[in-house]
Amino acid sequence: MNPVIFGLPLPRCYGLKCFSLRHPLAIGRLTNRFIHILVVFIGLASGLKGQTEILNKAFLDDVRFSKINDGTFSHPNLKISDIQGTPYLNETFEAGEIITPKDSVFANIELRYNAFTDDLEFKQGENVFNIAYKAIVKKAEFGGDVFSCRSYEVDGNIRDGFFKILTEGKATLLAKYKILFLDRVEAQAFSDYQPARFDIVQVEYFMAVDRNPAKLISNKKGLVKMFGEKSNEMETYISKNKVSVKEGDSLIKIVMYYNSL
């Protein structure tokens, strides 16, 4: 029987596969068992033509596979059990819903976020899938958090990625989480062996004004500039209230004030 995702049968001709929960992350030998798939949401309302258009964008995520094979994990025999820490903000799947750009809603989906690969994963039965085509997710609500696929600027280039929404309005404040992989270090004359590990969660704050790509908040000057014609007023507010542009709670206050103007 063909696999079914959210009530939609996936034809075998597309070669879409899943991997067992026994192997939650494709590393080394596990790579062959973990194939990225596209989850078809938008086409459900528009019939087979829409489904086909989305599936045509679903071809396997060769870029991410090539990164793994080319040495992101330099030891091919390294297993997930050999790595300390976790690539997830929370390994437990949480019941939630996904809203598409066309405002179609898919409820009662078990979701979690992989901060190492920047992937939104969902579970169906005993199988885990990830959503390869990020832009299909307008919002994903689970575990009391709201994530969204947003365009953002990095080194002059525009990319798409998942962010946690902290507050939204004319300006939307976003948190970008990162978990880094640190390879194992062999024992040497004056140092002990160190196992491979996923490093602690790091967070960066971005802000998107209107429909523009989100920009990294790196300092007060850069943040104030993002407010455009309200820059002088916002600079006065930040200075008067002594709020920090490095702390999430303070940034929420700043952005909420701007949205109230």
For 4-16, the pLDDT digits (tens) are 444 444 433 333 3
Quote the pLDDT of residue 219. 94
Quote the pLDDT of residue 169. 95
Quote the pLDDT of residue 142. 96
Quote the pLDDT of residue 22. 37
Asked if residues 203 and 178 have their Cβ atoms less than 8 Å apart, the reply is yes
Quote the pLDDT of residue 211. 87
Query: How does DSSP classify residue 228?
Result: G
CB-count burial class (<10 Å; 0-12, 13-18, 19+) for 108: exposed
CA atoms within 13 A on the CB side of 126: 3
Quote the pLDDT of residue 80. 66
CA 88 to chain centre: 10
Quote the pLDDT of residue 77. 65
Quote the pLDDT of residue 76. 59
Residue type, 120: L
| Low-confidence spans in the chain with pLDDT less than 70 | 1-80
Quote the pLDDT of residue 220. 94
